């Protein structure tokens, strides 16, 4: 029997990249249902097929995290599907590289924070109630090791906000059976990370699954780096 047998997982931004890898890996680790997310249903079809091939039921919820109204609809749709045991907040967007501070705009910061922070928080707030009722849940928030990079200040600040939110949420959920963690997937050669990144996307596994597989007595708010867990035994 696998640790995640019978669990339902929802992975945001799982139409490609890290999200797609994680969605399939969760199915391989016993999740009975994996809810895939992307901007459109068509974009999620390949991931959904991979999930089915891995032995789980695949459901799709489409919507733009850049639109607060659509975020609400995404959460409501997931609840209509029965809620989730695992919320994997993977989706994020990057900004343009700015060599001068004057190039940073309020509009860009607002767009980055809407997707990377506000949508993540709102989905968590709406979906965690179901986990608390069941007295079991895992929430994984993707963060970043980015540091002292003013050229990407909005993105970096959004990930610091995710870190703070995770710390506060861990305190709120202590003793509830719901464990929230942070995962740094590393600098990856994805559409987000670019072609010059240090690591291939596949290097996030098995480390990206560690926060979802934590023992029930594990401490909340932990920080994990995916590439530091390459020897983790699934």
CATH number of the domain to which 80 belongs: 3.40.50.720
Per-residue pLDDT of the chain (234 residues; tens, 9 = 90+): 788 999 999 999 999 999 999 999 999 999 999 999 999 999 999 999 999 999 999 999 999 999 999 999 999 999 999 999 999 999 999 877 678 778 889 999 999 999 999 999 999 999 999 999 999 999 999 999 888 877 889 999 999 999 999 999 999 999 999 999 999 998 766 666 666 667 788 899 999 999 999 999 999 999 999 999 988 988
**Structural domain includes residue 1:** no
Residues marked as catalytic:
155
What pLDDT is recorded for position 192?
A: 63
Q: Which domain holds residue 81?
A: 8-229
Note the pTM of the prediction, 2 decimals. 0.94
**Structural domain includes residue 2:** no
- For the chain, the domain total comes to 1
**Structural domain includes residue 168:** yes
Instruction: In whole angstroms, give the CA distance from residue 183 to residue 209.
Output: 9
**Structural domain includes residue 147:** yes
Instruction: In whole angstroms, give the CA distance from residue 141 to residue 13.
Output: 12
Share of the chain residues as helix, strand and coil, in percent rounded to the nearest 5 = 45, 15, 35
Instruction: In whole angstroms, give the CA distance from residue 149 to residue 98.
Output: 10
Output b/e per residue, 112-142; b: 16+ Cβ within 10 A. Answer: bbbbbbbbbbbbbebbbebbeeeeebbbbbb
**Structural domain includes residue 98:** yes
CA neighbours within 13 Å on the CB side: how many for 206?
Answer: 10
Instruction: In whole angstroms, give the CA distance from residue 55 to residue 111.
Output: 37
**Structural domain includes residue 90:** yes
Instruction: In whole angstroms, give the CA distance from residue 81 to residue 175.
Output: 26
Residue 199: closest CA among 156, 145, 148, 161 = 145
Beta bridge partners of 36: 11, 60
Instruction: In whole angstroms, give the CA distance from residue 234 to residue 35.
Output: 21
3-state secondary structure of 67: coil
Q: Is 102 exposed, middle or buried (0-12, 13-18, 19+ CB in 10 A)?
A: exposed
DSSP state, residue 6: T
What pLDDT is recorded for position 231?
A: 85
């Amino acid at each position: 029997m696998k640790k995640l047998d019978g669990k339902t997982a929802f992975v945001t931004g799982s139409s490609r990249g890290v999200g797609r890898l994680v969605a399939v890996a969760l199915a391989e680790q016993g999740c009975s249902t994996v809810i895939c997310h992307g901007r459109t249903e068509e974009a999620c079809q390949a991931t959904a097929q991979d999930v089915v091939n891995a032995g789980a039921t695949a459901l799709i919820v489409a919507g733009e995290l850049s639109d607060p109204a659509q975020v609400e609809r995404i959460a409501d749709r997931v609840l209509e599907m029965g809620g989730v045991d695992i919320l994997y907040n993977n989706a994020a967007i990057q900004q343009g590289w700015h060599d001068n501070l004057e190039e940073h705009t309020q509009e860009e910061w607002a767009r980055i924070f809407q997707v990377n922070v506000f949508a993540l928080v709102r989905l968590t707030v709406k979906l965690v109630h179901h986990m608390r009722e069941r007295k079991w849940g895992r929430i994984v928030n993707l963060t970043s090791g980015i540091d002292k990079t003013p050229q990407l200040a909005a993105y970096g600040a959004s990930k610091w906000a995710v870190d703070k939110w995770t710390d506060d949420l861990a305190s709120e959920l202590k003793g509830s059976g719901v464990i929230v963690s942070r995962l740094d997937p590393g600098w990856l050669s994805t559409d987000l990370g670019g072609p010059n990144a240090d690591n291939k996307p596949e290097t996030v596994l098995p480390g990206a699954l560690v926060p979802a597989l934590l023992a029930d007595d594990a401490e909340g708010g932990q920080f994990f780096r995916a590439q530091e867990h390459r020897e983790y035994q699934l």
